[in-house]
Structure 1
Amino acid sequence: MGYEAGPREELVQKGLLVLWAKNTVSIEVDGEPLALGADELLFLGPEQRRQFLVIDGLSYLQFNSLFHCILEQDQELGCKGRLFFSAAELPKIALLGRLGQKIKQTWADIEEELLLEAPHKLSLLRSLLRNLLIYANRLYLENHQKAAEKWPQEELVREFYYLVNQHFREKTKVSDYAKLLHRSPKTLSNLLKELGHKSPQQYIQERRTLEARRLLIYSNKSIAEISSELGFEEKRSFSRFFKQQTLLSPSTFRQKKGNMATS
């Protein structure tokens, strides 16, 4: 668990990450630029690849799933909750009002505790982290009232997103996930449409495309290896799929974005 930003362009890839932009900063998430305004929090899960482009005024809390295990059973705060697993958008929170001040104070308490060598340090850090995430979750819901009102329906959608994230390599049809959710494909499609989400098939395709983008940018695997890893029987089929999704061939995309794989 860390809280100090590292050298410029440092890659921080492991574990769950909470970023606090004290000034306007720029980062990359999965190869795409993202700007954070002053006093904004951003929550990133372990699979999202990130690179700091401008880190002055950026602090972070980073912790692994084992440290986070106390929250695993909490549908709203755990790794499957809205803060660390939001498929529709990257969860950002502006630190405003009473809850914003509580988050800032709790963050300061965590920083202070990290510097101490004292009994029960781990237990206290877990408690402080839980409080910070509770405040952040409440503030997120204040800023996203419609999502809060539709939380019961959104929970099924989130479970669909989670299942896709786990199985997109081998399960590529809406019917695969409808069966896992004990729903019909039509019911699942109608629910996502009613809540203003993308269609199930579109999300499945976008998740496969995202993984392809990650592998092309952050790995040294050949296009044929990536094709096989994503469940395509032929490299040609993968190339056609990728170009339909991005308007670029895999090789052109890799040349354009550059390869950031570490040796």
Structure 2
Amino acid sequence: MKQYTYEVSLKKIGMVAVDSNSLAAVNSERYKEYIKILYLPKDCSVRVDFSTYFTEFNSLFFISPNQMLSIENVGNDQGYLIYYNRDFYCIQIHDDEVACDGLLFNNIHNIPMTPVPSEESMFIDYLFNEVEKEFGVKDPLQEEMIRTYLKQLLIRATRLWKTEHLGRTTSQKHGEIEVFRQFTQLVEAYYKQKHSVAAYADILAIAPKTLTHKLKKMDLPSPNDIIKNRIILEAKRLLVHTQKTAKEVAYDLGYEDPAYFSRLFTIKTGETPSGYRNKYLNLHPQIR
């Protein structure tokens, strides 16, 4: 298995060639704690959390540490996995420049991937190749060079994701997009503590109706749906990947009344928490 690692102090970044030989390692717990960028050729299938994605073209995937990743099939060509921790590159710190937090990772649509058009593939290939070369360079500038290529990759990927998944929204004023990006950041940070639109609108210093109107104007889901969908996603993760009871899951997600949470989960998924757990684990027995 071809792999590279750079580590100094608490900062760590690595790269793994993704093919049939490395599949077991990539799907293991080895890289779960890291932020991950996956670059795969066509004819691959990837499961992220509870959705499966098929690559018809070269595609980029962006996986947060709390997300579950399983590459179910790899094509004939080699792919790449870059993994790193926040000490090496923190999205929030570089947010003003990269503007990708809330878009590439834990984005508003919960879509962790974007296809790479053929005219962009050459440049994306170049970036991954340069990162691979830099792992072999031992000088004081190595760390900064790797970080520079990573930043270019995030910037280019952000543009691709916005074009692919936001469509005409990208033509909206920057301020409009900035509001929904900040909102999704806040939801990711506080969904366990804050369940109402008013709570987030207060932090953003705008009226709840204004927040709702801004997202509707961009053809995006309502703020309430975004909050509840994030809560339900985490509930599914806890139900499937831990032994916690439905009551414990409810408490973890900030609900003092487990019965209320159970009703919310049933309305959103069509199944009770225990029913969802049993059905999913029966369909995916390898997770047990």
TM-score (norm 2): 0.81
Partner of 2:28: 10
Tell whether the 8 Å contact from 1:217 to 1:260 is kept in structure 2 after alignment.
no
Aligned letter for 1:202? D
Tell whether the 8 Å contact from 2:91 to 2:101 is kept in structure 1 after alignment.
no
Partner of 1:52: 71
Q: 1:252 aligns with which of 275, 284, 287?
A: 275
- Mean Cα deviation higher: 72-81 or 225-234: 72-81
Aligned letter for 2:188? N
Cα distance, 1:142 vs structure 2 = 5.2
Aligned letter for 2:87? L
Cα distance, 1:36 vs structure 2 = 2.2
Distance 1:142 1:215, change over 3 A: closer
Q: Does 1:203 align with 2:218?
A: no
Distance 1:81 1:245, change over 3 A: closer
Partner of 1:33: 52
Distance 1:141 1:246, change over 3 A: closer
Q: SS of the counterpart of 1:178?
A: helix
| In 1, Cα distance between equivalents of 2:253 and 2:286 | 20
Partner of 2:171: 149
Q: SS of the counterpart of 1:4?
A: strand
Tell whether the 8 Å contact from 1:218 to 1:260 is kept in structure 2 after alignment.
no
Q: 1:20 aligns with which of 16, 39, 44?
A: 39
Aligned letter for 2:28? E
Structure 1 gap segments, 5+ residues each: none
| In 2, Cα distance between equivalents of 1:189 and 1:138 | 25
- Mean Cα deviation higher: 37-46 or 167-176: 37-46
Partner of 1:82: 103
Q: Does 1:240 align with 2:263?
A: yes
Q: 1:165 aligns with which of 188, 195, 200?
A: 188
Runs of 4+ in 1 over 6 A off after TM superposition: 259-262
Tell whether the 8 Å contact from 1:68 to 1:78 is kept in structure 2 after alignment.
no
Q: How many residues align?
A: 262
Q: Which digits, 9 at most, give the CA deviation of each residue in 1:219-254, with x for residues without a partner?
A: 122222111111222332222111111011111111
Tell whether the 8 Å contact from 2:62 to 2:113 is kept in structure 1 after alignment.
yes
| In 1, Cα distance between equivalents of 2:56 and 2:120 | 18
| In 2, Cα distance between equivalents of 1:88 and 1:76 | 22
Partner of 2:147: 126
Distance 1:194 1:235, change over 3 A: same
Cα distance, 1:114 vs structure 2 = 2.2
Q: Which digits, 9 at most, give the CA deviation of each residue in 1:127-168, with x for residues without a partner?
A: 221222233334445555523322320111111111111111
- Mean Cα deviation higher: 32-41 or 152-161: 32-41
Distance 1:20 1:84, change over 3 A: same
Q: Which digits, 9 at most, give the CA deviation of each residue in 1:28-86, with x for residues without a partner?
A: 11122222223111222333222221245442111111111387233352562532342
- Mean Cα deviation higher: 168-177 or 31-40: 31-40
Structure 2 gap segments, 5+ residues each: 1-13
Partner of 2:9: none
Q: SS of the counterpart of 2:147?
A: helix
| In 2, Cα distance between equivalents of 1:152 and 1:228 | 36
Tell whether the 8 Å contact from 2:38 to 2:61 is kept in structure 1 after alignment.
yes
| In 2, Cα distance between equivalents of 1:161 and 1:225 | 25
Q: SS of the counterpart of 2:23?
A: coil
Q: SS of the counterpart of 1:3?
A: strand
Q: Does 1:183 align with 2:196?
A: no
Tell whether the 8 Å contact from 1:15 to 1:64 is kept in structure 2 after alignment.
yes
